[in-house]
Amino acid sequence: MNVSFFFEVLIGGLLAGVMYSLVALGFVLIYKASGVFNFAQGAMVFFAALTFVSLVERGVNFWLALVITLAVMVVLGIATEKVVLRPLVNQPPITLFMATIGLTFVLEGLSQLVWGSQPHGLELGIQDVPMEWLSKSTGINISQFDIFASGVAGILVAVLALFFQYTRIGRALRAVADDHQAALAVGIPLKHIWAIVWSVAGFVALVAGLMWGARNGVQYALTFIALKALPVLILGGFESVPGAIIGGLIVGASEKLAEVYIGPMVGGGIESWFAYVVALLFLLVRPQGLFGEKIIDRV
Amino acid sequence: MLYREAGQFKSTYAEDQQIFPIRQDRVAMVALLAVAFVLVPLMANQYWLSAILTPLLIFALAALGLNILTGYAGQLSLGTAAFMAVGAFMAYNFVLRMPWLGVIPSFVLAGLCAAAVGVVFGLPSLRIKGFYLAVATLACQFFVLWVIQRWGWITNNSASGVITAQKMEILGYAFDTPVTKYLLTLALVAAMALLAKNLMRSETGRAFMAVRDMDVAADVIGIRMMHTKLLAFAISSFYCGVAGAMYAFCYLGTVEPEAFNLDLSFRVLFMIIIGGVGSILGSFIGAAFITLLPILLSVLFAGISHLLGVEIPHAVISNLELIIFGSLIVFFLIVEPHGLARLWQIGKEKLRLWPFPH
Amino acid sequence: MNRAQSIGESVLSVEGVSLAFGGVRALSEVSFDVREHEVRAIIGPNGAGKSSMLNVINGVYHPQQGTIKLRRDGAWREFHDMDSHEAASMGIARTFQNIALFKGMTVLDNVMTGRNLKMRCNFLEQALWLGRAKKEELAHRRAVEEVIDFLEIQHVRKTPVGRLPYGLQKRVELARALAAEPSLLLLDEPMAGMNMEEKQDMCRFVLDVNDHFGTTIVLIEHDMGVVMDISDRVVVLDYGRKIADGTPDEVRANQAVIDAYLGVAH
């Protein structure tokens, strides 16, 4: 057993996990502030990436395209809040969840209708090649791109954590997540808050879309990333920003390690379900996730 | 004035407990069955029988299975396609390796295999609820597909995992034409729908609904959680398994594991959302809606492109389909969370008074 | 007041029950007994632990200390860790402070769920709706209709419970508990949130249940008038401790009780 190979796989897995965390962050934001599990997050990632890439391909400047896409995501967030969430405001969470499934399909159809369905490449200027000095000195190959992505994710998480903890809007968001009625009672404008949250989630989706798009290309399969974020959320809890990161790391690492070391024994392809089974086993022990709050049923 | 209950008095509890207490409903049901069993096979063309009606019935059965679990018992499941897959592949194996069993017993055994898988993957429901449970069922969905794709035995070591369902023969009579396949499907689905209806209006159904509405209270009055939840998974998976077997034998003919992917699970979920959760009738309405909608759309767009003299690309139509599906889900959840079945019920209520306003 | 049933021997004995949630002590060494056919009230200021006491009796909470003893068929049985399912099969039924009805079902279906422990047929028989299953369902329907008649809710039997006014929902909950033909009925604030008329009706029903079926009743109630009128004996709890136990008149005159209710520091 090659130690440096093990580290390579482990670190590669951890970094892949960071990419999952990027997507999970969007879920956490929306759930934290509105109690809605937004199944459409994956479609939002896809939509953001596709819009950006299509603009760039049509000759729009990189930064301008970024701004325009962000604006589009904000509009999308506001529209979603008005059309989907507000009419369903008192319904049980399951109903809201199913509404976001519907939203997913709408977004998927819309994205491809407007921009077409061919895959696109996305260039961010950083190559997916091993860092030379690292491989030369230790024999471990770690992609430059992966390092860059985790750097971006790290910055994003830090910014979001600070935002929630220290700004007035962040506090308002946390208040809303805890108790809608109470928040209303102290004068927090619920509708504005939700529009803000969905827009921030849209921004996070854009960042995630750029990272994933650069790595795997912008194509329909991107929507399935959302599904991978689910085990991450279960491990890290639906309401915790640091939980999303840690959950992502665990999922990424365990998935890669399992695929490399257990996979060959059972025919490979474990990655399709391993993360889910890990999450499932975890749920049996701790139904509320690593960072979640215990649910108490009162009669 | 046609749909009047006047004069229909029920003097025994048995009369009150009937599936169709109102005489007009009974007449309508008999007429519907007569049309379905006699008129349709005589008059419909091959395309309608094999490409529309037969899959519609099969999906109705799968939707029925999911409705028992999610609509009546309140356990959200995204693993419907996996249970169908178990049913399809196990039916193939039973017919292949034990041909003396016969087609119907093979379907039943395949359903029981699916039920067993359902119970195993339903165990988490004893501790997990809501969409956490949905994620657990996703584990089932992915894992089962992986097993089917990798396990040579189950596909008889076919190279790409593709299996071809055998010809069906019951008591020496072959069921290999669209008409005979349709009739077999219709008979099976109708029988199983009746069983499901009986089950849901008796104590089992009440226990399911109690667990759905307030499981803590159900527990306190003596309804056993484990028994009830696992029974829900078992019965639901049985139905989905039989539906899967019919999907392979009566409809597709040639099946690959990928046909039972997450998309199919979502499709069936949409059927019960649009048709009506917690309603036997809703399963049928939802299945009809989702099956017929794409056809409606392509006819509509063919008409539009004909009118405008413009060729509308297929990609546009399928994307529009996605958008319309999604919007309908959201629409129904907002306007009538109980789906088309409830709208039908409301319509019947209004019909009881028609033509009088009150 | 003339009552049809004469009060018999002790059938329920709560001995030294202590219950704590984390750092909060809900009950501290509470002991009392309940006699057959009597109407026993548990009263006390808010937060005294009354609902917790009921929850311990029917197995929803497990006390850290103490036992619950039930007399069935002449013999005493001791329980340390009875679960709610066992309690239900021992003939204990209850209603809840916040209505715990199944909102998606009709009144009839809700009351029928109360019969679930008496149903013997398995799901296959029910699916086929033949002979035994059909007979059983109809027999239980008959029994449930008697309860529905008794509580005068025939007119709403096919209405989904969620659509009924609060007072009727409370009655449906009582019907569900009665459908189980309990020997011990626990009522958690059965008259909360009702107006004068509804309270009188509910009082009448509770007394009728006791007279007609001989059911032993333990009830939590805030309305002193009701308690004094209908109960045979009263237990008073305050901050999780028993501070008085006796007839309504005895309890009314007890200084500790008066202090507790007036909020005198102690």
Query: Which of C85, C95, C110, C115 to probe the B interface (max B CBs under 10 A)?
Result: C85
**Bond preceding residue B357 cis, omega within 30 of 0:** no
CA atoms of C11 and A249, how far apart (whole Å): 59
Q: Could you identify the residue written with the tokens 């962040």? A: A170
Find the residue in C nearest to A298 (Cα).
C98
**Mean pLDDT across chain B:** 86
C194 CA: distance to closest CA in chain B (Å): 22
User: What whole-number distance in Å separates Cα of residue C70 and Cα of residue B244?
Assistant: 52
**Domain boundary assignment for chain C:** 1-91+182-266, 103-181
pLDDT of residue B81: 95
Q: Chain C residue with minimal CA distance to B232?
A: C123
Inter-chain touch C89–B210, beta carbons under 8 Å: no
The answer to whether C119 contacts B17, with C-beta atoms less than 8 Å apart, is no
With 60 as the cut, is the pLDDT of residue B31 above it? Answer: yes
- Average pLDDT of every residue of chain A: 80
- C-beta atoms surrounding A3 within 10 Å: 9
CATH for the stretch C1-91+182-266: 3.40.50.300
| Chain C residues with CB within 8 Å of chain A CB | 55, 60, 96, 98, 100
- Touching chains, C (3+ CB pairs < 8 A): A, B
Q: Which residues does B225 contact at the CB level (< 8 Å), separation at least 6? A: B126, B211, B215, B218, B219
The tokens describing A131, both together, are: 């860092």
Burial of C181 (0-12, 13-18, 19+ CB in 10 A): middle
Averaged pLDDT, A255-275: 82
Mutation pick from B78, B144, B145, B146 vs chain A, by most beta carbons of A within 10 Å, is B146
- Asked if pLDDT for residue B59 goes beyond 80, the answer is yes
> How much of chain A exceeds pLDDT 90, in percent?
0
pLDDT band at A135 (very low <50, low <70, confident <90, very high): low
Q: Provide the pLDDT for residue A137.
A: 67
Q: Is residue B228 part of a domain?
A: yes
- Residue in C85, C100, C137 closest to B202 by CB: C137
Any idea which of A138-152, B54-68, C75-89, C212-226 has the lowest mean pLDDT? A138-152
Q: What are A5-58's pLDDT values in tens digits?
A: 888 888 888 888 888 888 888 888 888 777 778 888 888 888 888 888 888 888
Contacts of B269 in chain A (CB under 8 A): 98, 101
A233 band by pLDDT with thresholds 50, 70 and 90: confident
Amino acid C158 reads K
pLDDT for residue B211: 92
Domain limits at B52?
44-260
Checking if the pLDDT of A240 tops 60, the result is yes
Shortest CB distance from A287 goes to which of B127, B142, B320? B127
Which band of pLDDT confidence, cut at 50, 70 and 90, is reported for residue A294?
A: low
Cβ distance B127 to A284 less than 8 Å, yes or no, reads yes
List C residues 50-109 in contact with B (Cβ-Cβ < 8 A).
58, 60, 84-85, 88-89, 93-94, 96, 100-105, 109
Q: Which pLDDT score, from 0 to 100, does residue B241 have?
A: 96
Closest-CA residue of chain B to A117:
B315
Interface of B with C (CB under 8 A): 13-14, 17, 195-196, 198-199, 202-204, 206-207, 209-210, 212-214, 216-224, 231, 235, 278
pLDDT band at B205 (very low <50, low <70, confident <90, very high): very high
- B223 interaction partners in chain C (CB closer than 8 Å): 113, 116
- HSE, CB side, 13 Å, CA atoms: give it for residue B338: 12
C253 and chain B in contact, CB less than 8 A: no
Calculate how close chain C gets to B203, using CA atoms only, in Å: 7
B3-28 tens-digit pLDDT? 666 667 777 777 777 777 777 777 88
Average pLDDT over residues A208-222: 79
Q: Which chain B residues are closer than 8 Å to C180 by Cβ?
A: 221-222
Give C186 to chain A, closest Cα distance, Å.
Answer: 14
Contacts of C221 (CB under 8 A, 6+ apart): C41, C43, C187, C189, C190, C191, C227
| Sign of the dihedral defined by the CA atoms of residues C57, C59, C60, C61, in that order | positive
* pLDDT score for C188: 92
When divided into structural domains, chain B yields a total of 1
Residue B1 has pLDDT above 70, yes or no: no
CB pairs under 8 A between A and C: 5
User: Shortest CB distance from B213 goes to which of C60, C96, C102?
Assistant: C102
> CB B209 to CB C123 under 8 A?
no
Q: If you average pLDDT over residues A219-247, what whole number do you get?
A: 82
CB contacts of C93 in chain B (<8 Å) are 221
Give the ipTM of the model, two decimals please.
0.87
| Closest residue by Cα to residue A267 from B41, B161, B113, C239 | B161
Nearest chain C Cα distance for residue B176, angstroms: 30
The token duo for B326 is 């999604």
How high is the pLDDT of residue B204?
Answer: 92
Is the pLDDT score of A128 beyond 60? Answer: yes
Q: Which of residues 206-235 of C touch B (CB under 8 A)?
A: none
Best mutation site among C105, C136, C188 for testing chain B: the one with the most B CBs within 10 Å?
C105
Give CA torsion, residues A91, A96, A97, A99, to 10 deg.
130
Report CB contact under 8 Å: C102, B235.
no
Place of tokens 């036992």: C67
Nearest CA in chain A to C60: A299
The CA–CA distances, whole Å, from A218 to A51, A71, A236, A271, B322 equal: 10, 20, 27, 21, 19
Residue with more model confidence, C254 or B242: B242
- What residues of chain C lie within 8 A of the CB of B235, using their CB? 123
- Read off the DSSP letter of residue C6: P
Q: Please tell me the predicted confidence (pLDDT) of residue A170.
A: 78
B261-294 in b/e form (b: 16+ CB < 10 A) is ebebbbbbbbbbbbbbbbbbbbbbbbbbbbbeee
Low-confidence ranges of chain C (pLDDT < 50): 1, 266
pLDDT reported for residue A299:
46
Residue A275 has pLDDT above 50, yes or no: yes
A112 vs B142: CB contact, 8 Å cut-off? no
Segments in A217-294 forming alpha helices (H): 225-236, 241-257, 263-266, 274-285
For residue C198, give both structure tokens.
């509804």
CA B32 to chain centre: 19
Chain B touching partners, 3 or more CB pairs below 8 A = A, C
> Do the chains contact at A109 and B131, CB–CB below 8 Å?
no
Residue B57 pLDDT grade (very low, low, confident, very high; cuts 50, 70, 90): very high
The DSSP 8-state label assigned to residue B173 in this structure reads: E
User: Nearest residue of C to residue B235 by CA position?
Assistant: C123
Is C117 in contact with B222 (Cβ distance < 8 A)? yes
**Do B323 and A106 lie within an 8 Å CB cutoff?**
yes
Span between the terminal Cα atoms of chain C, in Å: 36
Contacts of A238 in chain B (CB under 8 A): none
> Residue C216 CA to chain centroid, in angstroms?
9
The verdict on residue B286 lying in a domain is: no
Which chain B residues are closer than 8 Å to C101 by Cβ? 213-214, 217
pLDDT tens digits, residue range C164-212? 998 899 999 999 999 999 999 999 999 888 888 888 999 999 999 998 8
Pick from B198, B209, B235: CB nearest C105: B209
pLDDT digits (tens, 9 = 90+) for B150-204: 887 887 777 777 888 778 777 777 778 888 888 899 999 999 999 999 999 889 9
